[in-house]
Chains A and B, each alone.
Chain A
Amino acid sequence: QVQLQESGPGLVKPSETLSLTCTVFGGSITSYYWSWIRQPPGKGLEWIGFIYYSGSTNYNPSLKSRVTISGDTSKNQFSLTLSSVTAADTAVYYCAGEKVDGNCFDPWGQGTLVTVSS
């Protein structure tokens, strides 16, 4: 079955850019919308946005000005960049797949903690 793995730096300085990559194993990248979701420590879940294999994207308006999600179908990967980060962007970042005909998030990566601190 499809499995996801996030990778990227665990520490980012304030005002810099956060960059994460999600690698898709064991399935077709064309069957899903690929999302990033984050969870600040002790808090709830926030959807950041998704990309479809065609390259079309959809972002949360609350983050749209700072977010880019891109994909590399040759590597079965998709990436998140979040610019001008502050301490409020400290969170566990998850990648997740939403089947085109499924309307739910499954599978999920294990998550990666990104801390924004100088």
Chain B
Amino acid sequence: DIQMTQSPSSLSASVGDRVTITCRASQSISSYLNWYQQKPGKAPKLLIYVASSLQSGVPSRFSVSGSGTDFTLTISSLQPEDFATYYCQQSYSTPRTFGQGTKVEIK
């Protein structure tokens, strides 16, 4: 199985801050990396797929970089609606696996 490791597990930030979340795969996954946002009591929502494609309706303050084993999700200016938990997920092979999540909290 491909292990996905996110860092940090949680962070506190203020509205307007730049936030960076890292995701590392235990082996190369090319660009087969997706990012999801989950709010309490809700299903995960697809943000970015195949490493760099923004899902329709996702604000441009979300961006990604990376390929192979190391990937980064950046929120350029944190907004109140961005406080949530973020998961990375690889679709390179089965079993599909997720990172453990990064909780973005209000400072």
Interface residues of A (CB under 8 A from B): 35, 44-47, 49, 58-62, 94, 98, 102-106, 108-111
Give the residues in chain B near A60, CB-CB below 8 Å: 94-95
Closest chain B residue, CB of each to CB of A59: B95
Residue of B1, B94, B97, B99 ringed by the most chain A CB atoms within 10 A:
B94
Contact yes or no, A45 B98, CB < 8 A: yes
Total A-B pairs in contact (CB under 8 Å)?
A: 57
> Can you list 29 A-B contacts with CB-CB less than 8 angstroms, sorted by A residue number?
A35-B96, A44-B87, A44-B99, A44-B100, A45-B87, A45-B98, A45-B101, A47-B95, A47-B96, A47-B98, A49-B95, A58-B95, A59-B95, A60-B94, A60-B95, A61-B95, A62-B95, A94-B44, A103-B49, A103-B50, A103-B91, A104-B34, A104-B49, A104-B89, A105-B46, A105-B96, A106-B49, A108-B43, A110-B42
Contact yes or no, A45 B44, CB < 8 A: yes
> What separation, in Å, do the CA atoms of A62 and B96 have in the docked complex?
12
Interface residues of B (CB under 8 A from A): 1, 32, 34, 36, 42-46, 49-50, 55, 87, 89, 91, 94-101
